[in-house]
């Protein structure tokens, strides 16, 4: 296995270099960028839709969609008046900085306020790949079990924000909000946590207001 | 990327060789083996618990649990009177045949009727790794969206069975059972499909009866 690990390290080092270039580009153009991560079906695209509904008239936001296959998510986003690029990894379990770098050529960067990257649905692989984003936002849903932060610790370790989605289903599932908070904070005490239901819109305002502040402070820097 | 792909191919070839050894061992000992796959939180462990409840007094069943971190799942299984081994991949996104081969040394193989392998929660990576099992069973839950087979096609292509879990939540989510069936069958027309709720036990009997038949026919071969 030694050789494989070496190759993986080389890939990660090269990835980190390109991520640093992306980050510099975002900084120069004052674009606030976050990377949306979760297992398949936690509601990344729904959260993105709700976020765009609230913010796309105020800010110029672009979206990069990552999927193993299909452009279904980009189609969902296309109904908003925002530029969206779909990356299809064709089996790859994560986005890489170079894929983002290539996608950026499709946008007029100095016209953008924010870029949202929706990663491939996966709680393992994407956690190792810096894309140059400012923040990583991990979504967990109330139907997945409150032990997820303990079982996939690296994702919660590298994340800055945890959004607990599908709170409308709490009456019908065995999921302890206090437990998932405690489990996540035991891995990463610095996590900012939001509780939302993309279905009923409950709890979305604090999340959107927080994002709004982040985009504003990127502009003011 | 050429070198990386070569290394990955070598890994997969080596994995397939060990998987073939595992398969031969299972055949000689007439053990029916299946590999349980899904994204995190779809209910693999719950399905396993319900299956053991119904079958562990009739058959001698062993379990291998795969997780990125923690032995929480093995603890859940340990309350049944079955031998269980936890494999912790420490960041790895899938089980490999060699990990199973090592785990098998903990069991008395000729005393077993069945072995259930619960893979790491991931809809991408485990699909490439044959473990020597007879069948792959992919679990999708009604909270994940009915587009999952289209977005993660390789998993559904290699699977033999799809179990749709959490049917008790159908009234509260936007999930079309007919659509997920159609999407899955468009990728793999040979899929056997079950609809269950591990919470209410609805639909578990057809799944358990089908498994019962598989274990019996392995013995009779």
How many Å lie between the alpha carbon of B183 and the closest alpha carbon of chain A?
12
- Tokens 């090592």 sit at which residue? B102
Does B124 sit within 8 Å of A143, measured CB to CB? no
CA distance B71 to B221: 35
Does B41 sit within 8 Å of A148, measured CB to CB? yes
Contact assessment for residue A195 and residue A203, using Cβ atoms and an 8 Å cutoff = yes
CA A123 to chain centre: 11
Model pLDDT, residue B7: 66
Model pLDDT, residue A6: 58
B158 in reach of chain A (CB within 8 A): no
CA distance B210 to B15: 29
Pairing mode of beta strands A84-88, A61-67: parallel
Number of neighbouring beta carbons within 10 Å of residue B209: 11
How many Å lie between the alpha carbon of B24 and the closest alpha carbon of chain A?
25
Positive or negative torsion for Cα A124, A76, A42, A217: positive
Model pLDDT, residue B3: 42
Model pLDDT, residue A21: 97
Pairing mode of beta strands B114-118, B161-165: unpaired
Nearest by CB to A7, from B3, B153, B168: name it.
B3
> Could you give the 3-state DSSP secondary structure of residue B146?
coil
Structure ipTM: 0.85
Model pLDDT, residue A193: 98
Which parts of chain B fold into alpha helices (H)?
Answer: 2-28, 44-55, 72-78, 97-104, 148-151, 153-158, 177-187, 204-220
Model pLDDT, residue B151: 96
Nearest by CB to A40, from B68, B152, B154: name it.
B152
Model pLDDT, residue B81: 87
Model pLDDT, residue B10: 82
CA distance A107 to B178: 38
How many Å lie between the alpha carbon of B145 and the closest alpha carbon of chain A?
6
Q: Which two tokens mark B135?
A: 């069948």
CA distance A77 to A67: 13
Model pLDDT, residue B9: 76
Contact assessment for residue A90 and residue A120, using Cβ atoms and an 8 Å cutoff = no
Model pLDDT, residue A81: 87
Model pLDDT, residue A7: 66
Model pLDDT, residue B219: 85
User: Per-10-residue mean pLDDT for chain A, 221 residues long?
Assistant: 55 93 97 97 97 96 95 94 93 94 94 97 95 98 96 97 98 97 98 98 98 94 70
B152 in reach of chain A (CB within 8 A): yes
List B65's β-bridge partners, or say none: B86, B118
What residues in chain B have per-residue pLDDT under 70? 1-8
Residues in chain B: 221
Which pTM value belongs to this model? 0.90
DSSP chain A: -HHHHHHHHHHHHHHHHHHHHHHHHHHHTT-EEEEEE-STTSSHHHHHHHHHHHHTTTS-EEEEEEESS-SHHHHHHHTSSS-EEEEE-TT-SS--HHHHHHHHTTS-GGG-SEEEEE--S-SSGGGG---S-SEEEEEEETTS-TTHHHHSHHHHHH-SEEEEE-GGGGGGS---HHHHHHHHHHH-TT-EEEE--TTT-TTHHHHHHHHHHHHHHHHH-
């Amino acid at each position: 296995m030694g050789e494989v690990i070496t190759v993986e390290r080389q890939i990660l080092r090269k990835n980190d270099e390109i991520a640093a270039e992306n980050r510099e580009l975002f900084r120069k153009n004052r674009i606030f960028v976050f990377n949306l991560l979760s297992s398949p079906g936690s509601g990344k695209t729904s959260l993105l839709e709700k976020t765009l509904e609230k913010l796309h008239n105020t800010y110029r936001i672009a979206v990069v969609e990552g999927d193993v296959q299909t452009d279904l998510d980009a189609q969902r986003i296309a109904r908003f008046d925002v530029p969206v690029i779909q990356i299809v990894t064709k089996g790859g379990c994560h986005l890489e900085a170079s894929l983002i770098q290539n996608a950026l050529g499709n946008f007029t960067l100095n016209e953008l306020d924010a870029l949202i990257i929706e990663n491939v649905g996966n709680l393992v692989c994407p956690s190792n790949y810096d894309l140059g984003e400012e923040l990583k936002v991990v979504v967990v849903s109330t139907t997945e079990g409150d032990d997820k932060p303990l079982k996939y610790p690296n994702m919660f370790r590298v994340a800055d924000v945890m959004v607990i989605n599908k709170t409308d289903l709490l009456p019908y599932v065995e999921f302890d909000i206090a437990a998932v908070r405690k489990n996540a904070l035991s891995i990463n005490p610095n996590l900012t946590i939001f509780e939302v239901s993309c279905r009923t819109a409950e709890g979305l305002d604090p999340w959107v207001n927080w994002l709004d502040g982040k985009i504003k402070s990127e502009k003011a820097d």
